[in-house]
């Protein structure tokens, strides 16, 4: 069982959280960059059409469609996956803290953090995967 207010353990948890956030942002940036490079390589010389707005196709508006599209190396799917990773990074941080609080047996913070996590997932539409 851990000591509740151990500064060394708290610092270790902070390092892990910092690494998690940094890794998530860097990974998201690399995925978006790869998609952007592919997009420019394939469509860089095509003139832009600013007269009409074309939003994302319906298959790129939910997680399943984004994953399917990115797995088939669709450029827009790859870029959307990068943005999805960027949004998922702070959600992963909250999920990690649930486990940290559970390990410390700090049930009040487990409940509060679970409520925050559920609100995040609900607001992001994760229930419509």
Domain ranges of the chain: 7-44+54-128
Q: What is the pLDDT of residue 5?
A: 63
What value does the mean pLDDT of the chain take?
87
pLDDT of 127 reads 57
Q: Residue length, the chain?
A: 129
Give the CA distances from residue 75 to residues 34, 49, 52, 83, 106, in Å, rounded to whole numbers and listed in that order. Answer: 9, 18, 21, 13, 44
Per-residue model confidence (pLDDT) at position 62? 84
| Residues of the chain under the 50 pLDDT cut | 1-2
The pLDDT score that the predictor gives to residue 44 is 76
- The pLDDT assigned to 19 comes to 93
| pTM assigned to the model | 0.79
Distance CA 70, CA 88 (A): 16
Q: Is 82 exposed, middle or buried (0-12, 13-18, 19+ CB in 10 A)?
A: buried
């Amino acid at each position: 069982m851990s000591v509740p207010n151990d500064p060394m353990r708290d610092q270790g948890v902070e390092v892990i959280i910092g690494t998690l956030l940094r890794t998530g942002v860097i990974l998201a940036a690399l995925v978006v960059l790869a998609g952007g490079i592919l997009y420019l390589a394939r469509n860089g010389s095509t003139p832009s059409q600013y007269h009409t707005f074309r939003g994302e196709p319906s298959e790129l508006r939910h997680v399943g469609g984004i994953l399917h599209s990115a797995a088939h190396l669709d450029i827009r799917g790859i870029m959307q996956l990068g943005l999805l990773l960027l949004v998922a990074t702070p959600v992963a941080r909250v999920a990690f803290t649930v486990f940290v609080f559970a390990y410390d047996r700090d049930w009040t913070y487990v409940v509060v953090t679970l409520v925050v996590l559920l609100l995040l997932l609900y607001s992001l539409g994760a229930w419509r995967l």
